[in-house]
Chains A and B, each alone.
Chain A
Amino acid sequence: MNWRAFAVGTLTATTAPIMVHASVFLTVQQAQQQMFGQATMQQVALSLNEDQQKHLKKTSGIYHPFKANQVYKVAGGGWFVVDQVLGKHEMITYAVGLHADGSVKQVEILEYRETYGGEVRNPNWRNQFVGKTAADPLKLNKDIKNISGATLSSRHLTDGVKRILALHQLSLKAL
């Protein structure tokens, strides 16, 4: 192991302006291929009435309505659905692949966006790290990866998947 600390022992935190960091992992098409190979997808025009949205809300606990604009039927059986969950400070776009019987085949995150604070845009703040990092100090605000420290639980995602399973029961399996 090789560790080069930016401070010895104790580090003091400061407050700072907010910034947004987004990671794009997969496009919709890439996720489709990853889950279902070369199988063709047919987008399904789905519109849910108030009762159906209410049912989904009740089953999943998710308040904001389900946007049914990215639902795909997979040739040979199965479904591919893109959805979004909104946390307090983060937004996650994800895809759920369902087997023909409605059970979950795979869950894959497409995009993750989180609001962060950090002095990272302030050049004075960055100067304290000059010489302490092998990386270009400017990288300090470009590429925030490798965050150690608990993120919020994946409960929102679990609720999202629950909602999609409910959608299948409610509407998809009859299509």
Chain B
Amino acid sequence: MERARPILGTLVTIRLDAVGHSSDQIERGFTLAFAAVQTVHNLMSVHDPNSDLSQLNLLAAHTPYRPHPWTLAVLRRAKRMHSWSGGLFDPVVAARQLRAWQMLPPGLSAPTPHSSLQDLLIKGDLVWCRQSLTVDVGGIAKGFAVDMAILLLRRLGFRRAVVNAGGDLRVLGARAELIWVRHPHDPQQLMPLGELSNGACATSGIYYSVQTDSDGINRSALVHPHTQQAICLSHSYSVLAPCAVYADALTKVVAASQNPQHSALVLLGAVAMMLTSS
């Protein structure tokens, strides 16, 4: 059985294997799983000035901030990813560039020009920033939301499920699911990628966000943290990993490094696939 709702600025679908569950249990599963995704949205949307993350962006440079445990969990994973990727994954640098291109709201505080995720420090359950910055975890929040929904469904006793948040998906269960991916230049063309069980898949492609402005400068939702240029290639990258939050983060690392065998993938038991458009 499958349901879909608009959350996280995209379409979130949840599919459950109903066998062995009463209709009440199934309804409860859908309701609670969607609620988990909605919680991530409410906590971490940079487009909402009242979200936990927006408050952190506003306050943490002035005083230590205690975020919601889920926000903290995402920031911890972001820090890990930043470290394992040699800084190629950096949601602070990316946010700064996206803001300059007006792909993000102007925000409540101006970020310092050379701020990076290194300026965000976590100790215990407190976060503070060495200088004013904006962290936008949109790059991994979808994956995290998918993980939270899957873990919840597993706890509720479901043995097979698929949660898909705008293309970041995770399969619960040992039975393989056929995974499709979109053509990097034409999202209406699909290709079967492979079969996945008990794992996650995320794909980064810029077909919906790429623009060229009047100066001929390219903008896209993928930004290289070292050059601060838009990543506008004719490939898309799919990453398979045990959990969706890291699959999501790793697509940025593979896109920025152009290396489908980056060490961060090996560390996380992940695999990358590149789809070219020839």
Question: Within 8 Å CB of B208, what residues of A?
Answer: 150, 152-153
Question: Within 8 Å CB of B271, what residues of A?
Answer: 3, 5
Alpha-carbon separation in the docked complex, A129 to B191 (Å): 11
**Known A-B contacts A2-B196, A118-B190; A148 and B181 likewise in contact (beta carbons under 8 Å):** yes
Q: What are 12 inter-chain pairs, A to B, with CB distance below 8 A?
A: A2-B174, A3-B240, A3-B271, A4-B196, A5-B193, A10-B275, A11-B275, A13-B183, A13-B185, A107-B5, A134-B195, A149-B187
Which 9 pairs, one residue from A and one from B, show the smallest C-beta to C-beta distance?
A1-B199, A154-B6, A149-B182, A109-B4, A5-B194, A149-B203, A117-B189, A157-B6, A148-B203
Residue of A4, A12, A89, A151 near B11 (CB, 8 A) is A151
Determine if A139 and B205 form an interchain contact, defined as CB atoms under 8 angstroms apart: no
A63 interface residue, CB < 8 Å from B? no
Residues 146-204 of B contacting A (Cβ, < 8 Å): 162, 164, 166-169, 171, 174, 176-203
Question: Within 8 Å CB of A149, what residues of B?
Answer: 167, 181-182, 187, 203, 205, 236, 238
Most buried by A among B169, B174, B209: B169
Alpha-carbon separation in the docked complex, A56 to B57 (Å): 36
Residue of A11, A117, A152 near B274 (CB, 8 A) is A11
Determine if A154 and B164 form an interchain contact, defined as CB atoms under 8 angstroms apart: no
Residue of B5, B180, B196 near A147 (CB, 8 A) is B180
Give the bracket for the number of chain A residues in contact with chain B.
35 or more
Determine if B273 and A153 form an interchain contact, defined as CB atoms under 8 angstroms apart: no
A23 interface residue, CB < 8 Å from B? yes
B212 interface residue, CB < 8 Å from A? no
Chain A residues close to B by CB (< 8 Å): 1-7, 9-13, 15-16, 18, 23, 25-26, 34, 89, 94, 107-109, 112, 114-118, 120, 129, 133-135, 139-140, 143-155, 157-158
Alpha-carbon separation in the docked complex, A107 to B12 (Å): 12
Residue of A9, A34, A147 near B260 (CB, 8 A) is A9
Chain B residues close to A by CB (< 8 Å): 2-7, 9-11, 15, 27, 162, 164, 166-169, 171, 174, 176-203, 205, 207-209, 236, 238, 240-242, 260, 269, 271, 273-278
Interface of B is mostly: strand
Closest CB of chain B to A24's CB: distance in Å?
A: 9
Question: Within 8 Å CB of A11, what residues of B?
Answer: 181, 191, 193, 273-276
Question: Within 8 Å CB of A143, what residues of B?
Answer: 178
Question: Within 8 Å CB of B182, what residues of A?
Answer: 147-150
Question: Within 8 Å CB of B200, what residues of A?
Answer: 1
Determine if B6 and A148 form an interchain contact, defined as CB atoms under 8 angstroms apart: no
Determine if B189 and A15 form an interchain contact, defined as CB atoms under 8 angstroms apart: yes
Determine if B176 and A134 form an interchain contact, defined as CB atoms under 8 angstroms apart: yes
Alpha-carbon separation in the docked complex, A13 to B273 (Å): 13
Most buried by B among A3, A115, A139: A3
Question: Within 8 Å CB of A5, what residues of B?
Answer: 193-194, 271, 273
